[in-house]
Structures are given as structure tokens and as C-alpha cells.
């Protein structure tokens, strides 16, 4: 009989932990999930190759009801102590918002109760595991659920559509926290979730649970773009069927339960005629405001007016980036976010696509442009004599050659990657988007001849372009490929396969920047979308490369009283990142031009004329490529430099690396370790030498050692004739392993599956080959000897 000490972790689960759960009354089908992977594993990208890191995986998660997790169990084999898994379990419980953690090695359970005031941890026998009701009571205590009514709402089932779709862990937390907060009587709630993380699906589950439980009977979902309403209606909200309506043309029908509406569809900016006033003030008991950070002053006042009118309802704000300025504050209205899931966290978990940044500097951007004396624009107007820069281009001054240079550079990039990768080009205004479409059409005349929808202008005033928006979003539709836009596509457009975002606009705020980046963060592996590229012509990414790019909500504060004054021109032109005393960045918009005053004191607020010029030489001065490192920060430089830096962080000297290399049983462990650091060795092979062994790549890149190819290492081993102790057949197997190493590398021969492929299948099955050496430990010993021989010179 196998000793308990020899059982694997999986055996401990099957023979001891699972039976203990069944004895305690847990339903293994409905209340227990085993080996739960709750992240997808971060995507690492270098060049065009991507690889995923490890998923976070819990051994057991226990649920009182589906998606209401009450405990987590970390299992270890019996060589470990009963409490060996508690720290890892606590780490997972903190991420997953779970109150109770257990560790087990099959002898019993070690419990950590996050709700306890005195005895936080204790040891339990296998027969003392708590029942579902006991852990539900503890969960209610953890969440502050104290009344039967609150319990009824908090325990309401999620909606299941019969498919395998279920909420991701962060969506589950957002839904549970919101429903529980409302069950306890909270009236104003803010959820902050990065673009691409499924805010609408989360909102649907919140609304559905509150609606089904009877806690909320009439619900209004507010957005500010038609595209968002259409996506919501056709998407997750379709399950409300005939209980739902979209308010159109300000026509009100009070017979429905779920209402979708634009802010603009409910207000005429006229107190007597506002459509929402046709409802009584207490008609709705829940209002969900999508993208609640956004809007001009008039739009902001519109949704605030609507909310003030329906003030007795519960209000939930959804946003990727809460807006904090002197005049507009999401958190002031809703309070601090009840839950925040940031872009950075989404990328680390592997739910959002990482990105790299390509910065292109045009000479007229970096050096400025001054018209020669008497220079006139295309309409014969004299161009104001001053130095123009990025802030002016396409707003005050249009240089045709600059537009062409940008279009040619975009085309060059797509030509080098894939000319049918979906791309969004963000322009200064509608006029700029129109001219950029024309320039890109000329630069891609061959593809325009095949299909004139290859490049489309998608702006608010362009009906043809707006009609193509659905085709651009649809991964299965090839056209349009490139969309030029100004503001229309900055938010809410679910462009899953967008691989290129071009910034040729002076982005005025961190909020808008994050929204634009959100157009690229969705992943669609079926269509090969695992990362995206930002092509930056305006140094926008410089301005926002702060250390906390997407951590806590962004706030804009006024300067402290002790800060030195500068002239307004110096303050604007220096472009330095300014932070308040909390280390938070302050964003400045360029002030509007002062209005022109004429006789009589009347103020004319017409914009200054825009000059259109041509005949200007425009050239590329520099290009830089940046990658995102393991901490989510942008780094500039070559892959070789990055690898050197990361390896030296891990191993301080060549000796440290050699000792680790020689001491580990499987070299794959070191490869996995480096991958976790963001070093993708496949990309390194592409960059510095495909014929080199991973060992040589690291020694050469990080420690300047002369490298050998795999073939040279294999040849040295053969010269030394190190396999004399083995019989003829075993030597043939070892020589075949050497050939395999020379062709493919150390990782291949370490994997025992190699014995199933050619030429090893000539020697028999893997079991028969191992028997040539005696048994499996003796085969592995021979393999270790082969590895030592390969790296003996080192």
C-alpha cells in the first residue's frame, strides 16, 4: 500500500480533502470547484511573438451559491505541514474577496478566519470541516449583511444563459459588492473598471439580480452615445426581452421595466419640455450611468439634472476613469469607488492586451516651422509670422506634407506588419480626419482599388462612416481596415481586433488618453489579437508615462501655495510633468485664444482662421520603440538590453547564474523563471541567433561571454566520447538526444515526450527506451550526465 507521504498533491485532494467536504455537507457538483484558474496569465510580447505567463490557480473554491465564494482551500502533498498553503491561500483570498482560507496536507485543515477578532487561525481535524451554512454565516458577517431582507437580495442567483459563460473573478466581486451595498441601503455607488473588462456585462448581472430579487422594479440605463445603447441592447441586455425598451425621439412609454436611454434623449435643456419629467420623480428605483466620467459642461449638467430629478432612486456610476477636475467630480457625487479594476491589473491578469509604443518625430514637430516672409496659404491668405509647433498643426495650421508624412508612416508600419490589421487614427478634428482619410487612401491606392472601404472616415458628421462602424468592430468583417476619427471612437466602441492605435491629436487629459488606449486593450486570440501598438506622432505617451499609469483614479489638483510662479507661456511650453504633494500628476489644457474685442464692447467668439499650406519639406527625424516591462511600465531600448537588465536583477554575477544552471534538475525551471520576468526567449533567439543555446544566449547577452552554437556544443561532447560506460543501444539513444539538442535545444530533450517522436520511435516505445537504461531514474541520470557534458566547458 502506498504511504501517505508518497502521495501526490492531487491524490491528497481525492483521498482526503474531497471526502472531508462531502462529510461536511458540501455539494461537490454545485458548491465546489477544483483547480480553479481565475486569471488567464499575463501576455508577454516582444516583436510579433507573444507568450502567456502562469495562471493563478486555486486548488478549491467553495461557493454558498454559484458566484458567491465563501472559502478557499490550498492543498499540499503530505511532505508539507498542514499550514504550508495558508500564505498562498491568503494571497488568493485577498484578490478574490473571500473571508475564509484553509490549508491542508491530508492530515487535517489549518483555518484562517478573516472575520475573527481574537483567534484568527486554528487547526481542525478532517472531520471538523465547517458546513456550508456555517461558512455562509461567516460570509454575511464579513460583508456586514445583518437583516433577512439584505440576505435575500445578496443570495439572489446570477443569470445563466445556458452557455458556459460565467463572470470573471473581478466581475463577480464588482457584482457582489454592488448588490450587497444596495441590500444594506447604500444609494450612491461608483464602479471603476478598465475599458475592455466587461462593464456592461457586470451592469447586466447587477441589474438582473436586483430586478429578480424584487429589490428594484423599474430601472433606467443611461449612456451618452447611440453606439453604446445599441451595443447594450443587442448584447448582454437582450435577455430582458420584452421587459426592456429604448427611449427614442423623447417618446415615453411607462409600461416597461427596463429602460435604455441617451442623456440627450431625455432632455431638451428646457425645464418645461424635458422628456424625463413625463415620469414621476419616484418612477425609477435604480439608475445606472454608463461612462459617468464623461461629457462637456452641458452634458454633465444634463445627466446631473436627470439624477437630481430621480433622486430617490439608487444611482450606480460605471467608468473606466473617474473624472476629477475643479468643476466636475465623479467621486464627489458617487463617493469613492466600491471596487476598482485597473488597466494595469487587467494586463497583469492576462485579460487585457499589453501594448508597445512607437514614437515618430517629424522635423517640423521637433524643430517647429516658421513661414518664410510673405508666405501665403493655399487661399492666398498671409500666414502669421511665428514659429508653429505640434500644438498648432491641424488646429491653427495645416501642412499638407505633414499629413502625407504621417499617412506614409502609418502605411509603412502596416506594410511591415499586416496591411489588414485594423487601425484607428485619432485626429485633431473632423477636418483633420477627412484629410487623413484622403492621404491614407492615396498612400494605399492599390488596396483602395480592391475595395474603397479600406480607409473610412468615422466621425459624428459622416453618415457613411458611422454606418461602417459595426463592420469595423466585427472581427469577421475585413473592411473597413483603417478608421480615421476625432472624438466619435474614443469611448465605448468594442473594437476587439484593433491592433494599431495612431495618435496624431493633442490629447488634452489623462481621462481621454486612457479611453483612447482602451480601444486597443481587448483580446481576441481566435483572430490573432494578443497585443497592440501605439504609433505616437504627438508625444502624447511621453506626457502620460507616469509611474501609476492606471492605478487609482486620476485627480487634478491646484498648485500648492509654496510653488514658484512661472509665466503662463513657460508653464505651457515646458511640458514637464507636474505633481501635487501626493505625487499625483496635474494636467493642463492649453487655454483658449482670448476673444477679439471690437468697438461697442461686443465679444466675437469665432475661432481664428485655419491656414492651409503646402510646399514644406517634412522628414522623419527619429523613431523610438518601447515595450511594457513586467511591472506595466514602458521601457525604451533593445530586447538585448532589456534581457541583460532583467537577468542581472535575478543573477548578480556569472557565477550566480552558472551555479543555478548546474544545480537545477530541469533547465526549463530557469526558462520559466525568466519568462515570468518578461523575457521571452523565443524573441531573443530571433534577435541574436537562432542557432544558439539558451544557456549561451543568457551568458552572451547578460555577461558578455563568447557564445557557442548548439551544434558546436554537441560536437565537443562527441569528441570527448563521454558515453563509454553505456551499451551500444543506449549510446545510440544518447547520440540521437545530442542531435535533437543541436536542432532544437535543451528544453526539447528534457521533456520525456521527445521519446515518442522521430528518430526515437525507431528504438521502441518510451517505456522500452527507458528500459534500455534500466529504469526511469537511471535514464534521467544519463540525461543529467549528457547535460553536464554539454556545459562542462562553462
3-state secondary structure labels for all residues of 368-407: CECCCCCCECCCCCECCCCCECCCCECCCEEEHHHHHHHH
Spatial separation of the C-alpha atoms in residues 289 and 222, rounded to whole Å: 5
- Residue 596 in this model has a pLDDT that exceeds 50: no
Spatial separation of the C-alpha atoms in residues 750 and 650, rounded to whole Å: 23
pLDDT at 557: 24
Per residue in 694-722, pLDDT (tens digit) is 888 888 888 888 888 888 888 888 888 77
For residues 524-543, give the mean pLDDT.
82
What is the average pLDDT score of the chain?
80
> Looking at beta carbons, which pairs linking 369-372 to residues 24 or more positions away fall under 8 Å?
369/397, 369/399, 369/616, 371/613
Structural Rg of the chain based on CA atoms: 31
Kindly state the DSSP code that residue 14 receives in the 8-state scheme.
Answer: I
In a 10 Å sphere around its CB, with 0-12 CB exposed, 13-18 middle and 19+ buried, how is residue 296 labelled? exposed
Helix crossing, 728-744 with 776-790: angle to 10°?
50
Spatial separation of the C-alpha atoms in residues 666 and 751, rounded to whole Å: 9
Give Dmax (Cα) for the chain.
109
Where does the pLDDT of residue 407 fall: very low under 50, low under 70, confident under 90, or very high at 90 and above? very high
* Range among 283-287, 342-346, 463-467, 702-706 rated most confident: 283-287
pLDDT at 291: 75
Where does the pLDDT of residue 39 fall: very low under 50, low under 70, confident under 90, or very high at 90 and above? very high
Cα 356 to chain centroid, rounded:
13
* Range among 331-335, 500-504, 542-546, 668-672 rated most confident: 500-504
**158 vs 557, higher pLDDT:** 158
Asked if residue 723 lies in contact with residue 734, where contact means CB atoms within 8 angstroms, the answer is yes
For residues 585-596, give the mean pLDDT.
32
Edge-first strand listing for the sheet containing 314-319? 244-246, 258-262, 219-223, 286-289, 314-319, 188-193, 339-341
- Residue 490 in this model has a pLDDT that exceeds 80: no
Asked if residue 359 lies in contact with residue 637, where contact means CB atoms within 8 angstroms, the answer is no
pLDDT at 564: 30
- Residue 413 in this model has a pLDDT that exceeds 80: yes
Cell of 198: 466587461
Lowest mean pLDDT among 24-38, 187-201, 388-402, 591-605: 591-605
Where does the pLDDT of residue 650 fall: very low under 50, low under 70, confident under 90, or very high at 90 and above? confident
- Residue with the three cell numbers 516672409: 373
pLDDT at 10: 92
Distance linking the first and last C-alpha atoms of the chain: 45
Cα 427 to chain centroid, rounded:
24
The phi, psi pair for 19, rounded to 5°, reads -60, -35
* Range among 201-215, 560-574, 601-615 rated most confident: 201-215
Where does the pLDDT of residue 459 fall: very low under 50, low under 70, confident under 90, or very high at 90 and above? confident
**254 vs 225, higher pLDDT:** 254
Q: How many CB atoms lie within 10 A of CB 735?
A: 16
Spatial separation of the C-alpha atoms in residues 313 and 336, rounded to whole Å: 19
pLDDT at 594: 29
Where does the pLDDT of residue 576 fall: very low under 50, low under 70, confident under 90, or very high at 90 and above? very low
- Residue 232 in this model has a pLDDT that exceeds 60: yes
Where does the pLDDT of residue 508 fall: very low under 50, low under 70, confident under 90, or very high at 90 and above? low
- Residue 240 in this model has a pLDDT that exceeds 80: yes
pLDDT at 625: 55
Spatial separation of the C-alpha atoms in residues 794 and 777, rounded to whole Å: 26
Where does the pLDDT of residue 196 fall: very low under 50, low under 70, confident under 90, or very high at 90 and above? confident
- Residue 89 in this model has a pLDDT that exceeds 90: yes
Q: Record the pTM.
A: 0.70
pLDDT at 702: 83
* Range among 23-32, 503-512, 559-568, 747-756 rated most confident: 23-32
Where does the pLDDT of residue 408 fall: very low under 50, low under 70, confident under 90, or very high at 90 and above? very high
- Residue 546 in this model has a pLDDT that exceeds 70: no
- Residue 631 in this model has a pLDDT that exceeds 60: no
Per residue in 318-359, pLDDT (tens digit) is 887 765 554 445 667 788 889 999 888 898 899 988 888 888
Secondary structure E strands in 87-167: 100-104, 108-113, 121-125
pLDDT at 152: 92
pLDDT at 453: 93
Cell of 384: 502669421
pLDDT at 553: 26
Spatial separation of the C-alpha atoms in residues 81 and 108, rounded to whole Å: 10
Cα 128 to chain centroid, rounded:
42
pLDDT at 606: 42
pLDDT at 624: 54
Spatial separation of the C-alpha atoms in residues 421 and 88, rounded to whole Å: 41
pLDDT at 273: 62
Where does the pLDDT of residue 56 fall: very low under 50, low under 70, confident under 90, or very high at 90 and above? very high
Where does the pLDDT of residue 404 fall: very low under 50, low under 70, confident under 90, or very high at 90 and above? very high
Where does the pLDDT of residue 436 fall: very low under 50, low under 70, confident under 90, or very high at 90 and above? very high
pLDDT at 762: 84
For residues 751-770, give the mean pLDDT.
85
- Residue 567 in this model has a pLDDT that exceeds 70: no
* Range among 8-22, 468-482, 492-506, 582-596 rated most confident: 8-22
Spatial separation of the C-alpha atoms in residues 171 and 148, rounded to whole Å: 25
For residues 81-90, give the mean pLDDT.
94
Where does the pLDDT of residue 620 fall: very low under 50, low under 70, confident under 90, or very high at 90 and above? low
Per residue in 105-122, pLDDT (tens digit) is 999 999 999 988 888 999
Per residue in 774-792, pLDDT (tens digit) is 888 888 888 888 888 888 7
**3-state DSSP: the chain helix, strand, coil percent, rounded to 5?**
40, 20, 40
Amino acid at each position: 500500500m502506498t504511504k501517505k507521504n508518497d502521495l501526490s498533491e492531487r491524490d491528497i485532494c481525492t483521498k482526503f480533502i474531497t471526502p472531508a467536504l462531502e462529510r461536511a455537507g458540501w455539494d461537490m457538483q454545485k458548491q465546489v470547484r477544483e483547480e480553479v484558474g481565475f486569471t488567464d496569465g499575463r501576455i508577454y510580447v516582444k516583436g510579433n511573438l507573444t507568450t502567456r505567463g502562469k495562471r493563478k490557480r486555486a486548488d478549491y473554491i467553495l461557493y454558498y451559491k454559484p458566484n458567491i465564494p465563501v472559502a478557499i482551500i490550498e492543498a499540499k502533498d503530505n511532505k508539507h505541514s498542514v499550514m504550508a498553503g495558508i500564505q498562498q491561500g491568503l494571497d488568493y483570498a485577498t484578490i478574490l474577496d473571500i473571508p475564509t482560507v484553509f490549508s491542508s496536507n491530508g492530515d487535517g485543515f489549518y483555518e484562517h478566519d478573516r472575520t475573527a477578532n481574537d483567534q484568527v487561525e486554528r487547526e481542525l481535524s478532517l472531520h471538523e470541516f465547517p458546513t456550508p451554512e456555517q461558512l455562509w454565516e461567516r460570509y454575511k458577517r464579513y460583508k456586514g449583511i445583518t437583516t433577512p431582507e439584505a440576505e435575500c437580495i445578496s443570495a439572489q442567483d446570477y443569470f445563466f444563459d445556458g452557455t458556459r459563460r460565467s463572470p470573471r473573478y473581478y466581475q463577480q466581486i464588482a457584482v457582489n459588492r454592488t448588490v450587497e451595498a444596495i441590500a444594506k441601503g447604500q444609494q450612491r455607488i461608483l464602479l471603476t473598471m478598465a475599458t475592455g473588462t466587461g462593464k456592461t456585462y457586470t451592469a447586466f448581472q447587477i441589474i438582473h439580480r436586483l430586478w429578480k430579487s424584487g429589490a428594484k422594479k423599474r430601472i433606467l440605463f443611461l449612456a451618452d452615445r447611440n453606439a453604446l445603447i445599441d451595443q447594450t441592447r443587442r448584447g448582454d441586455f437582450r435577455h430582458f426581452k420584452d421587459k426592456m425598451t429604448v427611449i427614442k425621439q423623447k417618446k415615453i412609454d411607462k409600461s416597461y421595466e427596463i429602460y435604455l436611454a441617451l442623456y440627450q434623449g431625455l432632455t431638451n435643456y428646457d425645464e418645461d419640455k424635458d422628456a424625463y419629467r413625463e415620469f414621476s420623480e419616484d418612477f425609477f428605483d435604480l439608475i445606472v450611468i454608463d461612462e459617468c466620467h464623461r461629457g462637456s459642461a452641458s452634458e454633465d449638467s444634463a445627466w446631473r439634472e436627470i439624477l437630481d430629478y430621480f433622486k430617490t432612486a439608487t444611482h450606480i456610476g460605471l467608468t473606466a476613469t473617474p473624472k476629477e477636475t475643479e468643476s466636475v467630480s465623479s467621486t464627489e457625487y458617487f463617493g469613492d469607488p466600491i471596487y476598482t479594476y485597473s488597466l494595469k491589473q487587467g494586463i497583469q491578469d492576462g485579460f487585457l492586451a499589453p501594448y508597445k509604443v512607437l514614437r515618430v518625430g517629424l522635423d517640423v514637430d521637433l524643430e517647429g516651422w516658421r513661414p518664410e516672409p510673405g508666405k501665403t496659404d493655399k487661399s492666398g491668405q498671409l500666414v502669421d509670422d511665428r514659429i508653429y509647433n505640434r500644438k498648432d498643426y491641424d488646429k491653427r495650421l495645416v501642412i499638407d506634407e505633414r499629413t502625407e508624412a504621417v499617412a506614409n508612416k502609418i502605411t509603412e508600419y502596416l506594410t511591415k506588419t499586416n496591411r489588414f490589421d485594423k487601425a484607428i487614427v485619432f485626429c485633431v478634428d473632423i477636418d483633420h480626419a477627412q484629410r487623413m482619410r484622403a492621404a491614407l487612401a492615396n498612400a494605399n491606392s492599390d488596396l483602395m482599388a480592391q475595395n474603397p472601404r479600406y480607409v473610412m472616415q468615422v466621425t459624428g458628421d459622416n453618415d457613411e462612416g458611422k454606418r461602417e462602424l459595426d463592420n469595423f468592430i466585427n472581427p469577421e468583417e475585413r473592411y473597413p481596415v483603417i478608421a480615421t476619427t476625432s472624438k466619435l471612437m474614443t469611448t465605448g466602441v468594442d473594437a476587439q481586433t484593433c491592433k494599431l492605435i495612431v495618435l496624431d491629436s493633442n490629447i488634452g487629459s489623462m481621462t481621454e488618453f486612457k479611453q483612447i488606449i482602451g480601444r486597443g486593450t481587448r483580446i481576441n486570440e481566435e483572430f490573432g489579437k494578443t497585443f497592440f501598438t501605439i504609433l505616437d506622432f504627438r508625444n502624447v505617451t511621453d506626457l502620460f508615462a507616469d509611474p501609476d499609469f492606471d492605478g487609482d483614479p486620476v485627480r487634478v489638483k491646484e498648485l500648492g501655495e509654496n510653488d514658484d510662479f512661472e509665466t503662463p507661456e513657460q508653464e505651457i511650453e515646458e511640458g514637464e510633468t507636474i505633481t501635487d504633494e501626493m505625487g499625483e500628476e496635474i494636467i493642463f489644457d492649453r487655454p483658449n485664444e482670448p476673444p477679439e474685442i471690437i468697438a461697442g464692447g461686443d465679444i466675437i467668439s469665432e475661432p481664428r482662421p485655419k491656414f492651409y499650406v503646402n510646399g514644406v519639406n517634412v522628414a522623419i527625424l527619429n523613431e523610438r520603440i518601447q515595450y511594457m516591462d513586467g511591472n506595466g511600465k514602458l521601457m525604451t531600448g533593445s530586447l538585448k538590453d532589456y534581457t541583460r537588465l532583467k537577468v542581472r536583477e535575478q543573477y548578480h554575477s556569472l557565477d550566480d547564474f552558472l551555479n543555478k544552471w548546474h544545480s537545477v534538475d530541469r533547465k526549463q525551471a530557469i526558462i520559466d523563471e525568466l519568462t515570468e520576468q518578461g523575457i521571452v526567449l523565443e524573441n531573443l533567439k530571433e534577435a541574436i541567433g537562432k542557432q544558439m543555446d539558451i544557456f549561451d544566449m543568457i551568458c552572451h547577452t547578460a555577461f558578455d561571454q563568447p557564445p557557442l552554437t548548439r551544434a558546436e556544443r554537441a560536437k565537443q561532447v562527441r569528441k570527448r566520447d563521454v558515453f563509454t560506460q553505456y551499451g551500444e543501444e543506449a549510446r545510440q539513444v544518447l547520440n540521437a538526444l545530442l542531435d535533437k539538442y543541436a536542432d532544437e535545444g535543451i528544453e526539447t530533450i528534457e521533456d520525456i515526450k521527445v521519446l515518442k517522436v522521430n528518430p526515437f520511435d525507431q528504438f521502441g516505445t518510451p517505456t522500452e527506451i527507458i528500459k534500455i537504461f534500466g529504469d526511469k531514474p537511471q535514464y534521467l541520470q544519463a540525461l543529467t550526465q549528457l547535460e553536464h557534458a554539454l556545459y562542462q566547458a562553462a
